[in-house]
Amino acid sequence: THYAQARHRQLASRKASKGDWRDNFPAVGTQSLEKGQGRAFPWPLCFNEPRRLLFCPRPCLVVLTPCLLGLFIVGRATMFRDGEPTRGDAEARRGDKTGSDESRGERMEPSVKMTRHQAFYIFVLDGLGGMALSGGVNFAIAYGAMAVMYTTQDTAKHPIRLFQLPNTLAGDAAVTIVVQCILTWFVEMGLVAHDLAQRSVQPIGCIDEPAHPWLRRLFFLPPGRETAIRRLRAASFGSVMQQALRGFALSVPAFLALWPAAVGILTAVGRRRGGDYVYSDRWTPQVFKLVLGGLLGLLTTPLMAVFWLVRAGWEAKHTSGAEGRRVEVKLILATSAFHPFPWTSPRPRLLLPPGGIRILRHPGGAMAFKGLATCAAAALLTGQAAALHPWGPWLGFQSSDAVGAARGGVLAAARPADSAAIEAHNLSVPVDHFHNESRYEPHSHDFFDLRYWLDATHYREGGPVIVLHSGEFPGEGRLPFLEHGIVPMLTKATGGLGLVLEHRYYGTSYPVPDTTVENLRFLTTEQALADAAYFARHVRFPGLEHLDLTAPGTPYIIYGGSYAGAFAALTRKLYPDVYWGAISSSGVTAAVDEYWQYFEAARHFAPGDCSPTLQRLTRIIDGMLFADDPAKADEIKDLFGLKELYHDEFASVLSGGISGLQNTNWDPEEDFAEYGTYCATIASDALLFASTAHLRPAVRRIVSFAGYDAEGQSLTARMLNYVGHVRNRVRRDKRYCRGSSLRECFSARFAEHRTDLAAGWQRSWLYQTCTQWGYFVTGEGVPRDRLPMVSRALTYDYATIRCRSQLNITAPPDVDSINRLGGLNFSYPRLALIDGAQDPWRAASPHAMGLPDRESTTEEPFMLIDWGVHHWDENGLKDEVEGLPPKQVVEAQRKEVEFVQAWLQEFERERKRGSAEQMTEELRRAVQGPR
């Protein structure tokens, strides 16, 4: 696991170099958008500038249509005038001047008790009507303006979560409650004032004024009862803030009442994943917002209406007998003269026909317009928030140990998929396939969701199923290979289905609620292989349910790289009736307990003078570490700025640079540039770090102490560069564990111990290495007849320390459970073994140096890619680049396509032969009867 951290650093640096995610989207109005090509435009960005609304008709229609529909329906409802319903516009114009502009400016007298009309106004128009419109508006917002977070985003790659950003329903609920309460407060203030002026409702006069000064301040009342109450004219920023504070105050009890209940319900319907809950149904946010917005409107809107009606009653008592005046509520913000309620001015200037103005002058229409205003404001705010959430990736759960994993999170050893079109699906598979095996006791009869991704772009009926197994990483990291890697090459040539299948205990495919040692008992390669077989026998692919694409009737070809390569080989050997063929790329078919051979590839193939230089520098360092004088060890560790570390911890930190060979790649998107920089740095005779120049005398003494006087000048400069490189890397990596000591940051003895699912793939792979696979990289195990590439202080005891400290596993891994199936001599018909000549994992494969070469045939391909490293044949390019892939990779991929096609032809011949034999047997039985 420690050596996977180099990959994490690569991914972190690549992410930092790519800049903001919004840079990946085309500019507004580009040809690709006009033709519907390229990426989908992020909807919230439509609200950043008015001109962008022209390119976002869908969110605008989704948001505005339900509001306008509600405005039309409610606007046709019965209108109220002086507390009595009218029979239409014609009848309202008859009689005295009740409906004239003059009388409409006068308020009605306060009621001496709550009338049915007031109750209808408060609880039906404002309560139920507010519930319907607020729920609909929130639904539209969730579906429209926030589509970048929910509807159009790849929820397989970024599942909808309860707590973790960017898709957080709990945070969405909190923001919805606060924003809706504040916006509704302003809207309700204007609407009640309008309805009072239009004589559509009576003020409430049956409640006495409060005497407590805080309550009087809450209701905007003067300090003393004898002082006249003036009508509100909020014309300053301070007044607006006072109103906003009251809306926020109402949101606090609403939050306390609704947010815990909402979170409780969401935890009940969600699927637990680590310390969070995830939701696979994309309609979950919309339905959730519909219910939450509706309940919030039902509970808060009547309270706001009562607030303003009661205050109007107190105001009317102070001004009884005086000529009523028209209420004008003008909210003039500090930066604009926007008037949110223009119909309350003496001469409304609305760009609406007279009928529209008439609709807005009665409570139903005004209440509907409230939903429209709330929707527009909320869409603007939430859309902007969704588009500008740069903090999201940094606020998620940390699932890593020490520095390397903290930088990589749960990313797999591949870049994220570019397309959101590849959706995740699940197949329910048994937790325990082997009820006769005592090591799985207590047995389980439960099932769990095994995740997979499907691409049917090139599928033709009768084609094969190409399975790419994700191995020891979450499946998301393998998705690019469904788009422009080995999988589409094979599916295009064969008319097949392509899919990525996730390994149990990785990604979201957890059969248990946590990863305690007891719950990890079902994490064995044997159980995972049975998952793959069960999948092929039972899966029904979405959109292709009418076809039986299960094995053995459909040929299944499995591909894997690294551990997944060994997994593919084992699948073919143990389930030959299910998987017709397999390709094992860099497959580690031999499990090795102490894997000192990891650095042998670098010893043979490191560029330039890197390897011999590192061997000599390591000998110098070990001479100081193992000297009889303990001060020598302190001196060498202090030289690198790592004096606090134990010897084995110090050796582990120094090994980080050369381990980067595994992550070099021909693909510019995948290449690990730091490895080449590292080698060039330590092999240079020029001083590359000015900060180490003053250390030259001390380093010269250390070099001389090791007996390298003849090469003193050259090795001194190279050691100084080595020191500068390590110091720079340590300083950079320490930023990811601020507040921790040097040992807490870099020592496996202080690795974070978590048992929840957020611990991620690191804990799962740690368990597999501690129990079955091994691969504990050391310098201690290097034969004494050669100089090691890393310090011999890197011991087996330190490499296995997390097995004991985190899993309480003290026994060595059972590598025989794997090696008995073939190990270095692994072979099987229709199994391709492909390796890179410079792969650090080559020593654990049938291509290990020293083993006899094999003849490569169509039946059993056996290929070694010159200059290749770790499963180089798996990669592909999205766009054509001259000179890429390298010709040896192109040749390997061409041969893979050819022998897979040959395997499928053999499958067709076998199927026809089987059909003919079956027909012959049926005819024989018909003539002779059963034997």
CA 61 – CA 181 distance, rounded (Å): 24
Closest-CA residue to 492 (of 894, 830, 910, 831): 894
Query: Is the torsion defined by CA of 637, 639, 641, 644 positive or negative?
Result: positive
The catalytically annotated residue of 154, 648, 667, 839 is 839
CA 135 – CA 225 distance, rounded (Å): 40
* Cis omega (within 30 of 0) for bond into 861: no
CA 92 – CA 819 distance, rounded (Å): 93
CA 273 – CA 279 distance, rounded (Å): 10
Tokens of 400: 């890593």
Query: Is the torsion defined by CA of 720, 726, 732, 735 positive or negative?
Result: negative
255 secondary structure, DSSP code: H
Query: Is the torsion defined by CA of 631, 632, 635, 640 positive or negative?
Result: negative
Q: 328: exposed, middle or buried (C-beta count within 10 Å: 0-12, 13-18, 19+)?
A: middle
Strand pairing report for 84-85 and 80-81 = antiparallel
What would the 3-class secondary structure string for 345-409 be? CCCCCCCCCHHHHHHHCCHHHHHHHHHHHHHHHHHHHHHHHHHCCCCHHHCCCCCCCHHHHHHHC
CA 588 – CA 488 distance, rounded (Å): 24
Give DSSP secondary structure letters for 99-132.
GSHHHHTSPPPPBSS--HHHHIIIIIIIIIHHHH
Core vs surface per residue 569-593: b (16+ CB within 10 A) or e: bbbbbbbbebbbbbbbbbbbbbbbb
**How many other CB atoms are found less than 10 A from the CB of residue 303?**
16
The catalytically annotated residue of 280, 400, 562, 845 is 562
Closest-CA residue to 311 (of 214, 189, 195, 191): 189
SS3 179: helix
> Using an 8 Å Cβ cutoff, are 62 and 140 in contact?
yes
Closest-CA residue to 326 (of 82, 102, 111): 102
CA 528 – CA 571 distance, rounded (Å): 9
775 secondary structure, DSSP code: E
Q: Is 839 a catalytic residue?
A: yes
**How many other CB atoms are found less than 10 A from the CB of residue 96?**
7
Q: Give Cα separations from 172 to 164, 377, 720 (angstroms).
A: 11, 16, 53
**How many other CB atoms are found less than 10 A from the CB of residue 184?**
27
583 DSSP β-pair partners = 559, 832
The number of residues making up the chain comes to 931
> Using an 8 Å Cβ cutoff, are 316 and 231 in contact?
no
Give DSSP secondary structure letters for 405-440.
HHHHTT--SSPPPS-S---EEEEEEES-S-TT-GGG
SS3 822: coil
CA 880 – CA 406 distance, rounded (Å): 34
Give DSSP secondary structure letters for 666-687.
SSTTT--HHHHHHHHHHT-SS-
Residues annotated as part of the active site: 562, 839
